[in-house]
């Protein structure tokens, strides 16, 4: 159908309508843009809030690992460096007021650790201490009361810290002392010093099963593993009743010692060989050690679990001893060739008692195995506490990878960590790795 041309007034009305529509659409688009911007701001605030909460969780975990359980949370509040670091976080964010910083921190599981087995759906295997960090700060709100803040609510994360305490009990080791009574031990009072060292060991009444082998060119006598007053008396009578004489052979005494240690299933098994000599059967002794001691799966020495016994050999060379030979016999199946010197010691006769005692303390102040074993990257994160007081790495303790154990020391500038752990009943706690933060 044919339509006549529009009149001028009709065109004006249509033009006004179109202008109205354009203005309306512009308003809608503007409102939409404002909503988008506001939505973006809201999303940003939520992200900031979550990041703050996660950061606080990591801070709490790191402080517990490095400084102890009272250094992060106490009575529901942040303490010490944790509170200081929290203030720094908020101080770096201009859009957030310091007075809005409200956090609580509570230990879960009534302060006890939890243990997860391998393949657990709840997280990695091991023993953990857990905390809940809760934030009452709400980034969404802009008003002063709950109604204006709208979605305000507490948010929280669970923080897990790997911890070994009760599981790292000081083991009851077994030790066979292999003592050189060859003729050269009569020089420079070496035999008398050795006898004094054994007497000192017995008088200390260590929680240990031990035996003694006296040797020269062959095995003189063997006293098997034992403990208690009667055993101590038998050892002292044998050690003090013998005098030096004869040549030097290592193979027979080492075989007797390993045979005695293999009578039990104790994986904390040690040989301590003390000699001043150059053995006549050095190659035979080396072959035996390579077969019977180093010939087992090294993993047994790391985990202390297996169908063979991991034996660790300490050697003490007096005066002119053949240290190359002694070092070649030292360590265990997990000890790299370049690390055997960590188990071999060279001394003068007058230092026999102190060195003998130091080796025993090295054995007795060993705590492990650590399960799971720390990775190489995690070694730098290992912290050790004695009654929750932090010890100093490289002074009070070190981690020995081929024993998968922590060793405590009585360093001159340290905390007498070994003595306090052995004699004073100090509780040892080990923490390592990175904290795990779980958003609830």
Query: Mind listing the domains of the chain with CATH numbers?
Result: 17-164 (no CATH), 174-364 (3.40.50.410)
CA nearest neighbour of 114 among 156, 159, 145 = 159
pLDDT digits (tens, 9 = 90+) for 201-217: 999 998 899 999 999 99
Residue with tokens 């810290």: 161
Confidence grade of residue 36 (pLDDT, cut at 50, 70, 90): very low
What Cα–Cα distance (Å) separates residue 270 from each residue in 110, 311, 312?
39, 5, 5
Handedness of CA 269, 389, 430, 333 (dihedral sign): negative
- In degrees, rounded to 5, the angle at the alpha carbon of residue 227 between the alpha carbons of residues 314 and 168 is 60
pLDDT digits (tens, 9 = 90+) for 173-207: 999 999 999 999 999 999 999 999 999 999 999 88
What per-residue string of b and e applies to 204-223 under the rule 16 or more CB within 10 Å gives b? eebebbbbbbbbbbebbebb
Q: Rg of the chain over CA atoms, in angstroms?
A: 35
Residue 155: its pLDDT value, please? 84
Confidence grade of residue 403 (pLDDT, cut at 50, 70, 90): confident
Task: Indicate the average pLDDT of the chain.
Answer: 85
Among 76-90, 92-106, 142-156, the minimum mean pLDDT is found in 142-156
pLDDT digits (tens, 9 = 90+) for 279-332: 999 899 999 999 999 999 999 999 889 999 999 999 999 999 999 999 999 999
Terminal C-alpha separation, the chain: 70
């Amino acid at each position: 159908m044919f339509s006549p041309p529009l009149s001028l007034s009709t065109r004006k009305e249509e033009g006004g309508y179109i202008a109205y529509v354009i203005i309306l659409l512009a308003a809608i688009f503007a409102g939409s843009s404002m909503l988008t911007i506001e939505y973006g701001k809201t999303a940003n605030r939520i992200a900031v809030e979550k990041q703050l909460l996660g950061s606080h969780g990591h801070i709490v975990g790191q402080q517990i690992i490095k400084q102890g359980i009272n250094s992060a949370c106490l009575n529901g509040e942040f303490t010490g460096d944790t509170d200081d670091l929290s203030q720094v976080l908020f101080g770096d964010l201009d859009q957030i007021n310091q007075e809005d910083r409200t956090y609580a921190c509570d230990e879960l599981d009534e302060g006890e650790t939890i243990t997860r087995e391998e393949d657990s759906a709840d997280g990695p295997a091991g023993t953990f201490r857990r905390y809940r960090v809760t934030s009452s700060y709400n980034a969404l709100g802009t008003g002063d009361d709950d109604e204006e803040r709208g979605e305000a609510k507490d948010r929280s994360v669970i923080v897990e810290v790997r911890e070994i305490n009760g599981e790292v009990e000081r083991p009851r080791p077994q030790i066979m002392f292999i003592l050189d009574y060859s003729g050269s031990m009569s020089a420079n009072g070496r035999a008398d010093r050795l006898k004094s060292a054994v007497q000192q060991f017995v008088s200390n009444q260590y929680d240990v099963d031990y035996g003694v082998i006296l040797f020269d060119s062959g095995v003189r006598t063997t006293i098997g593993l034992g403990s208690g007053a009667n055993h101590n008396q038998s050892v002292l009578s044998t050690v003090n009743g013998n005098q030096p004489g004869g040549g030097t052979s290592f193979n027979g005494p080492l075989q007797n010692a390993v045979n005695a240690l293999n009578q039990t299933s104790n994986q904390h098994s040690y040989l301590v060989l003390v000699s001043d000599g150059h053995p006549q059967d050095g190659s035979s002794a080396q072959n035996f050690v390579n077969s019977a001691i180093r010939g087992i799966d090294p993993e047994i020495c790391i985990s202390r679990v297996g169908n063979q016994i991991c034996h660790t050999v300490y050697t003490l060379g007096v005066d002119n001893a053949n240290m190359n030979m002694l070092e070649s016999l030292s360590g265990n199946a997990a000890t790299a060739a370049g690390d055997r010197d960590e188990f071999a010691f060279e001394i003068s006769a007058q230092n026999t008692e102190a060195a003998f005692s130091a080796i025993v303390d090295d054995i007795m102040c060993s705590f492990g195995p650590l399960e799971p074993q720390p990775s190489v990257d995690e070694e730098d994160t290992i912290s050790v506490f004695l009654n929750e007081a932090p010890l100093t790495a490289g002074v009070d303790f070190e981690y020995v990878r081929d024993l998968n154990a922590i060793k405590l020391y009585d360093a001159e500038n340290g905390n007498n960590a070994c003595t306090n752990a052995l004699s004073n009943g100090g509780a040892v706690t080990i923490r390592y790795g990175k904290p795990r933060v779980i958003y609830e």
